[in-house]
Structures are given as C-alpha cells and as structure tokens.
Amino acid sequence: MTTNVGILGAGAWGTAVAKVIAEKGIPVDIWSHEESTAEDINQLHENRRFLPEVRLPENLRASTDAEAVANGKEFLILAAPSLYLLDTVKKILSVPSIMEGQTTIGVITKGFIPTKKGPRLILETLEDYLPGFYKHSLVYIAGPSHAEEVSRGKITGLIAASESAKHSIRFRDLLRTNRLLVFSSFDVKGVQVAAASKNVVAIAFGMLDALKTEACKKDIEDMFGDGTESLLLAAGLNEIQLLGRAMGATHPETFTSISGVGDLDVTCRSIFGRNRRFGREIIEKDILASFTSIDDIIERIGEIGYLPEGVVAAKYVYQLAEQYKLKMPISQGVYRILNREIGPLDFLHTFIKDLG
C-alpha cells in the first residue's frame, strides 16, 4: 500500500491537518458532509466555510463519499465532531481495507461519546465497532493547537497517544514537520480526558473574560482580573486531572505536559477558541436566552453558527462527575449555567467563595 491518507471530516481542524500532510507531498483525500465545501476545496483550493483565506495544496482532494475516502488508505484520520463521530465511522465499516485491518487509524476529535452505559472515551467506543485488528492500536492525537495557526505554519506541538508504540510513531512521523512537533505517549485515557474536559473550563474562562471588559462592567462590581483567570485555569486543571485519574489515566505528567496544561491554556486564552467565544457570548450577547436547557442547546447547536464542543462535553463531564462521585465545581457550574439553573455571576461568586 503506497503512502496515502484519508481524513473524515472537513472542518477547520481536519482541513488544517490535511494541508500539513499534503504539503509533504503525500496525497490526501478528505471527506466533507457538505457538497459546497467539497466543491470549494476541489475547485478553489480553499475551505471557505471552515478555514477561509488558507490556500490548500492541489494534492488535497475532497469528496462527499466517505467510503471512497477511506478505502485503500495507509492512514485514516477521523476528524468529525464528537456528536457525529460514531455515525461517521459506521459509514466505513464495510470498506475492504478497514475490514482487513490494513489501514492505521488516528483520531483528532475531542470529546466523549454517549452510549447506553453513559459517556465513554472515544477510542474505547470506536474499538467496539471497528474490526478486532484495531483493539489497542488506535492513535489519539491532541495538543495545544488551533487550525487557524497550524494551517499558517505557526510552530505547534501535539501528542500522539496509543497503546501501540509502533502506530504512535507512525503517526508522529506522518504529521511531524519543522513547524509541527509531535510527541508519543502511552497515556491514551489521560490525553483523551484532557482534550475533552478543557473545553468545559474554556467556557467558564470565556464568561470570566467577558466580565472583565469595560462593556460588561456597567452594572457589575469590578472584582475580576488576570489573577482571577489564573485562579480559574489552575482550578480547572485540577478538575481535569481528577477526572482523568478516575477514568484510568496512567501518567501524572500528562496533565502538566502540552496535552494537559498546554491545551487548556491555549483553549482558554486564544482568540481562535470557539468555547472561549461561546462563554464570552453568554455574557455579551445573552446567547442562552433562546435556549431552555443544555439538551435544547445540543439539539439546536447548529443555530449557534459555530460548534462549541464544550457544551456537549459539559453534559457528559457532569454525568461522569456524578458517576465517579467527584467534586468538580467549575465543570458542574458550567453545566448548571447551560442548563439554565443558575446565572454566571452566581456561579462565579459561589466558586470563589468555595475556594476560600
């Protein structure tokens, strides 16, 4: 099998990763759910909807046929949002190269998968559907990264986590450039928990960040500053580590590395962060006013105009905290805000009081 790559999911991150690989001279096929996006990639060499103003290589081709994109590939990268990931994988189960275990599979989606047993980590859920060849061999790729920066060659670091050292190294070599640094890890569960949970903290960070601005201080006491944000970020990291240990994380350094504190920091502070943006818009635009509950937000998430995966993660982190009997005031507070039970200021006052 010659070196070629398929990517399922033509959102911003899937497209950015595809661009990095294609620029190394490796042919890449990317699956798009939207016909218009596929046409833009093929005809204009640009993903105008999800990654505008980024020129894409001509050896990056798009299709709306998931089976065609997956078939015969040496590497397949799953990049569909967590809400739709399982349905996407079901589209390719009958692909010959997948059925025979010839393709090495990596995942760049962040989040949890809902099941009848409750929220589960992505890789263990996919293993239940994929052929047995893929048991303990899937690779999970995450780290402090934004599509807007990676696609423009900004220096970035990622973690390729797998129980298979061989497959981790193969994806490390596939993705690595002089601008994209990739490191291996065996802590598959810890890296997945960190990648999913940090989006919830980022929503809280966005709300706090908005409350700091002059426009939002008209009727609010000026009590939040940079130190408050650092307090929130540190407490959020503690919650992520707490959940990670409960779910089977094996390496404490996962949470002090780029997959932990690094990813949390960039998600909370970057202007490109969709979850930070959503948190800000809760304050600035009262974006929750048109929703009745967190389930209502998830059901109508397409109306927001972008995808804040932290909304979905907030529901599942709340359920996991209940399941493992964990005290996670930030994550549980974000859930209650999104579920229209409390307001952001009430949450922040209670959170700070509890810390004291």
Which of the following is catalytic: 73, 110, 189, 198? 198
Contact 195, 266 (CB under 8 A): no
In the chain, % helix, strand, coil (3-state, to 5) comes to 55, 15, 35
Assess contact for 158 and 143: CB atoms under 8 A.
yes
Rounded Cα distance, 66 and 159, in Å: 26
Helix axes 344-355, 329-338, angle to 10 degrees: 170
Q: Identify the DSSP state of 121.
A: E
**Nearest alpha-carbon partner for 140 in 186, 95, 93, 103:** 186
Active-site residue, 198 included: yes
Measured between alpha carbons, how far is residue 302 from residues 83, 101, 296, 298, 308 in Å? 11, 35, 11, 8, 10
CB 4 within 8 A of CB 26: yes
Active site residues: 198
